[in-house]
Amino acid sequence: MNVNFNLLKNKHSWNSTIHQLNSDVLTRHVLMKGNVDNVDINFTYCEKTCKGDITNADNKLIGNFSISY
């Protein structure tokens, strides 16, 4: 499956191929390519829309992602 990441900081976006959807995999991709200020990030995901949000430790939105198969 493909993940399209969009971070609000610097309007940075990229695509990655993943084999399993979980927070560990998503975190690794965001930390490697996202240039985030803090490693404490969280993900929410809606299976119906195949979209999710990325928030920081203060629960503030820092980006989003979408899944395509």
Mean pLDDT of the chain: 95
User: Hey, where are the domains in the chain?
Assistant: 2-68
For residue 5, the model assigns a pLDDT of 98
pLDDT(38) > 90: no
pLDDT(37) > 90: no
pLDDT above 70 coverage of the chain, percent: 100
Q: Are strands 2-7 and 61-68 parallel, antiparallel or unpaired?
A: antiparallel
Residue type, 31: L
Write down the residue that tokens 């985030």 correspond to.
36
Residue 21 main-chain phi, psi, to 5 deg: -95, 105
Q: pTM to 2 decimals?
A: 0.93
For residue 8, the model assigns a pLDDT of 95
Residue 10 main-chain phi, psi, to 5 deg: 60, 15
CA-based nearest residue to 26, from 47, 6, 49: 6
